[in-house]
Copies of this chain bind each other. A is one copy, B any other.
Amino acid sequence: MSLSLAKELNPLNTEPQAESRRLSTPNPKKNPPSKEHEMIVVMEQGASDAQIQHVAQLIRELGLTDHIIKGTERTVIAAIGDDRAKNKENLETVPGVEKVMPVLAPYKMASREVKKERSVVPLGGTLGASAGGKKVCLIAGPCSVESRPQLLNCAQAVKAAGATALRGGAFKPRTSPYAFQGMGEEGLKILAEARDLTGLAVVTEIMAVDQIDLVCKYADVLQVGARNMQNYNLLWAVGDTRKTVLLKRGLSATLEEFMLAAEYIMSKGNPNVILCERGIRTFETYCRNTLPLAIVPEVHRISHLPIVIDPSQGTGHAHLVPDMCKAAIAAGADGLIIEAHDDPEHALTDGAQSITPKTLKEMMVTLRKIATAVDREI
């Protein structure tokens, strides 16, 4: 998606708004125009004519057109048209209403309806890394930047294995306040040095709005983690940059919520969003998360954005990673993001789910064959 298309889609927000990024107070008058909301209101059996007419009137108050359809048991009212920031859920509390069913998904810029062709999103670096084209991108590296030698070694090893982008956390979101929180700017500098050395694009997590200038100085791709998928101020802030954003799905986010998080970023004028599935939380216990690969063809059906798979977070166990990499490519994923570490036994974070660069290299032989089978390259 070109910047000019983004401009066309969202003319009010074309310029990076450095100022608004600092003030997270929203300006309600500047909210972008909302998309059409159609819905079906199902009335209770035995709802009175007065109740039906009252609902029809509330629909008209919302700026929508009402279509009343009387069935043998029930009346349903279809509400069609355009609205702006009105709240239709309220109809559910109105006497005589059984339920309200929305007809359309509430996102637009991320939707395939707006842009039929698939977006190819650049990652940066000098190796031509991008996601969404014929070539499947491979992003690999350690969970955390731990030291200069560790990272530089790992960068060279994953490049040799076929990666075009390097992952590595300088700021680490940790469940416990007592766990290692990352090296901060020192880590970012090492990442940038690794890029200079290898040409790999640098992908790193951003956890807070006030880290943006710092992280943008060193990184190519801003990763928004699963825990921050609905941190809307952060989404708006990365939307104000022109860096590519790797947006991870929340552990229990619906696909619609995931698309709306992308929409937050895109609504600020940044079209360069890569979606990333990293597993969802279920009752399963043999894996840390359940990796739902059917999201790959579904995202390709509803959106023009690329989707990459994180089988490390997505399973939580190194022994499950290679087969899930293979499955992801076969399912049509636009890329992989993998945790790789030279010495998982001594990794500071996430050793249990890191594979070694040696395993990565061996696996690549198979991944290339699978990519060919599904008419892709890696």
Contact = CB atoms under 8 A, between A and B. Distances in A.
A26 B282 contact: no
A294 B315 contact: yes
Nearest to A108: B178
A344 B90 CA distance: 6
Nearest to A79: B71
Interface string A219-244: 00000000110111101100000000
Interface string A141-171: 0000000000000000000000000000001
Interface string A337-378: 000000011111111101000000000001001101110000
Interface stretch (A37-45, A121-129, A132-140, A194-202): A37-45
A378 B228 CA distance: 36
A115 interface: no
List the 9 shortest-distance A-B pairs measured between CB atoms, nearest first: A90-B351, A252-B252, A369-B373, A34-B178, A330-B330, A26-B181, A227-B230, A71-B80, A327-B331
26 contacts: A24-B207, A25-B184, A31-B181, A36-B73, A42-B103, A69-B69, A69-B78, A71-B81, A72-B80, A74-B103, A89-B350, A90-B347, A92-B317, A93-B352, A107-B176, A176-B260, A177-B264, A254-B286, A283-B283, A287-B294, A294-B315, A323-B331, A326-B331, A327-B330, A330-B331, A373-B373
A19 to B, nearest CB: 12
A131 interface: no
B369 A178 contact: no
Given A208-B24, A282-B282, A284-B255, A330 B370 contact: yes
A216 to B, nearest CB: 15
Contact of A180 (B36, B85, B286): B85
Given A92-B352, A93-B345, A332-B323, A211 B24 contact: yes
Given A36-B71, A280-B283, 18 more contacts: A26-B171, A26-B182, A28-B182, A28-B184, A31-B177, A90-B352, A91-B345, A93-B352, A106-B178, A282-B282, A293-B324, A294-B324, A297-B323, A326-B330, A326-B332, A326-B373, A329-B330, A369-B369
A254 B231 contact: no
A293 B80 CA distance: 36
Given A281-B252, A345-B93, A294 B290 contact: yes
Interface residues of A, number: 132
A162 to B, nearest CB: 16
A104 interface: yes
A320 interface: yes
Given A78-B78, A176-B107, A232 B207 contact: yes
Task: State the number of copies, please.
Answer: 4
Contacts of A22: 210
Interface of A: 22-28, 31-36, 38, 40, 42, 45, 58, 67, 69, 71-74, 76, 78, 80-82, 85, 87, 89-94, 101, 103-104, 106-107, 113, 171, 173-185, 207-211, 214, 227-228, 230-233, 235-236, 250-252, 254-257, 260, 263-264, 267, 280-287, 290-298, 301, 314-315, 317-320, 322-324, 326-332, 344-352, 354, 366, 369-370, 372-374
